[in-house]
Structure 1
Amino acid sequence: MKRRSAIKTDLFADQHHKQTLDKLGDPLAEIESCIDFAALAAAVDRIAPRPASPQGGRPPFPTETMVRILVLKRLYNLSDEQMEYQLLDRMSYKRFCGLAQATNIPDRTTVWVFENRIGEAGAQAIFDGVTAQLLKKGFIARGGQIIDATLVPAPKQHFSKDDKAQIKEDAMPADWKPAKRRQKDLDATWTKKHGKSHHGYKLSVNVDKKHKFIRKIVTDTASTHDSQHFEAVMDPANTSRDVYADRGYPSEEREAWLKANGYRNRIQRKGHRNKPLSETQQGRNHRIAKTRARVEHAFAAIEQMGGKLIRTIGQARANFAMTMMAACYNLKRLAYFQRAKIVPA
């Protein structure tokens, strides 16, 4: 007796799959429903106008399509090569980027060229554009601001002793050909944290206590001390004057600056040799830690977006990647609020 196959064929199977995807809950559809990508694309075009297409040449893909691709890249931490493959393979990716019926898909070179065209200013325009839409929806910065920094790892570089000596003198090793030079990141730096060495860059952020959106960012190399970005990421728009930070930030000068500018100091105290913290100070640190931990939730969410590792070479591209990290975190956070039907308060 011939057994029936469990696989059924249908000319409209693709449509059925899309309907099933919607029922299950497509996270990209949630993001699309709460963000105006056309507005983000317009902001990018103002910063980096689209080049004129040569007569007879293939016109470039719409900026909105490319911005959506950059969001996908950062949400899932994909390389240009992986992005090209996934655009060909994944229905949800094609639909999100408006390419479901397209015969041609942006390849890895197209994605690379677009990133280089818009540069750091373009990534900042996307971050600022998302921030503007948050405010428009009523998600203003409330409850106080929490300042912290996270290390963003980059591929480790291997240099010979002679190479290191020449690089230290701002000279380029004579045996480095152009192709090899392009693969060497001379900007990323080493630092130590909790006894472990880390190589890469640093992302300093300001997160509001109420909604945990990233409001301000500063990018730098890993060896830069966290406290150097404190004033740069301060957000005067926050409705509360409370400022939270960990034990890496306190100083007499900073305390005086906060007081002079009308802020309430919620920075944890740091003990010193032969002068440990009192019980009262320890208790204060513990109370602050409960609130300050909210910024760690943001870093954990970024880590879940495929990890924080960046594959680029040089600080300019690293800055681009870290700015997109922050923008995409805010996108996911906004989608969460919409899914949970949480309204701004």
Structure 2
Amino acid sequence: MAQLGLGLDLSTKRTRKREFLEEMRRVVPWSNLIALIEPHYPKGKTGRPPFPVATMLQIHFMQQWFGLSDPAMEEALYDVPLYRDFAGLDGGMTRLPDESTILRFRHLLEAHGLAVQMLAVVNEILSGKGLMLKAGSVVDATLISAPSSTKNASGTRDPEMHQTRKGNQWYFGMKAHIGVDAESGLVHTVIGTAANVHDINAAEALLHGQEADVYADAGYQGIEKRC
């Protein structure tokens, strides 16, 4: 027996993910961030035209917000209309960014130090609105796993990634060291290192210098001797 259609308009449901993306569309200073990237973005004079900077930046942000790898982000663009809509990909597009395109965009940001510049732009806007008070900072670090296999085109592991041990578990990848405004919970500093770099070695760089107090877990014992 054929199932009866319910005539549902799935675009009207106010899901938490939809509301989150709509809020990000409003509050992120997209034009300021795009202006930082455009001087370094390929112009596409030969071959297929590149996707708009805004599209690739919005995809990059969704990757970070939802913890998606490059292949997973590519699949999500095919599977999730909401993601395509946020990235401006539903208006007559004949193709979608694949995982290699997504990876090249991230490498572009890394090569020109644009992520740090974008964070500085956002923090300047937040400070101007009195949302980041800078009275205290919370510092912490988190491990980010990377493929440890050498079964790839080059037959090697990423030379910037390293192995480290946490408890009884071994990890291969990198570490994100993060400084957060204690009052608002807003991130003001992010530094990426290999996973085997000890938290305390990056601690001083996570402070902006205007703190009255610094909060950290036991992994930062002895920090006062280095700062």
Residue 105 (structure 2) aligns with: 114
Percent of counterpart pairs with the same letter? 27
The answer to whether the aligner puts 1:198 opposite 2:149 as a matched pair is no
User: Please, which runs of 5 or more residues in structure 1 have no aligned partner?
Assistant: 159-175, 259-345
TM-fit CA distance, 1:243: 1.7
Of residues 102, 112, 126, the one that matches 1:134 is 126
Give the direction of change, closer, same or farther, for the CA distance of 1:136–1:104 in structure 2 (3 Å limit).
farther
Q: Which has the higher helix share?
A: 1
Q: Distance in 1 between matches of 2:23 and 2:126?
A: 15
For residues 147-171 of structure 1, the C-alpha deviation after alignment (integer angstroms, 9 at most, x for no partner) is: 222222222347xxxxxxxxxxxxx
Does the residue aligned with 2:219 lie in a helix, a strand or coil? coil
1:118-197 alignment, distance < 5 Å: 118-120=109-111, 121-157=113-149, 179-181=153-155, 183-197=156-170
For residues 81-113 of structure 1, the C-alpha deviation after alignment (integer angstroms, 9 at most, x for no partner) is: 332332233221111111222322432133233
Question: Higher RCO, 1 or 2 (CA under 8 Å, sep at least 6)?
Answer: 1
Residue 35 (structure 1) aligns with: 28
Give the direction of change, closer, same or farther, for the CA distance of 1:23–1:191 in structure 2 (3 Å limit).
closer
1:92-111 alignment, distance < 5 Å: 92-108=82-98, 109-111=100-102
Q: Contact 2:58/2:86 (CA < 8 Å) preserved in 1?
A: yes
Q: Distance in 2 between matches of 1:192 and 1:22?
A: 39
Of residues 57, 65, 69, the one that matches 1:75 is 65
For 2:153, give the aligned amino acid: A
Give the superposed CA RMSD: 3.1
For residues 50-77 of structure 1, the C-alpha deviation after alignment (integer angstroms, 9 at most, x for no partner) is: 323326x543221111100111122223
Does the residue aligned with 2:121 lie in a helix, a strand or coil? helix
User: Please, which runs of 5 or more residues in structure 2 have no aligned partner?
Assistant: none
Residue 90 (structure 1) aligns with: 80
The answer to whether the aligner puts 1:220 opposite 2:189 as a matched pair is no
Q: Contact 1:205/1:233 (CA < 8 Å) preserved in 2?
A: yes
Task: Give TM-score, length-normalised by structure 1.
Answer: 0.56
Q: Contact 2:134/2:181 (CA < 8 Å) preserved in 1?
A: yes
For 2:220, give the aligned amino acid: Y
Q: Distance in 2 between matches of 1:223 and 1:257?
A: 19
Give the direction of change, closer, same or farther, for the CA distance of 1:22–1:79 in structure 2 (3 Å limit).
closer
Of residues 11, 29, 47, the one that matches 1:18 is 11
Q: Contact 1:44/1:125 (CA < 8 Å) preserved in 2?
A: no
Q: Which has the higher strand share?
A: 2
Structure 1 segments of 4+ aligned residues over 6 angstroms from their partners: none
Q: Distance in 2 between matches of 1:256 and 1:23?
A: 45
For 1:44, give the aligned amino acid: I
Does the residue aligned with 1:180 lie in a helix, a strand or coil? coil
1:150-299 alignment, distance < 5 Å: 150-157=142-149, 179-181=153-155, 183-238=156-211, 241-251=212-222, 255=224
Task: Give TM-score, length-normalised by structure 2.
Answer: 0.82
Larger radius of gyration: 1
Give the direction of change, closer, same or farther, for the CA distance of 1:99–1:237 in structure 2 (3 Å limit).
farther
Give the count of matched residue pairs: 225
TM-fit CA distance, 1:132: 2.9
Q: Contact 2:135/2:210 (CA < 8 Å) preserved in 1?
A: no
Q: Distance in 1 between matches of 2:180 and 2:16?
A: 33
Residue 267 (structure 1) aligns with: none
Give the direction of change, closer, same or farther, for the CA distance of 1:22–1:137 in structure 2 (3 Å limit).
farther
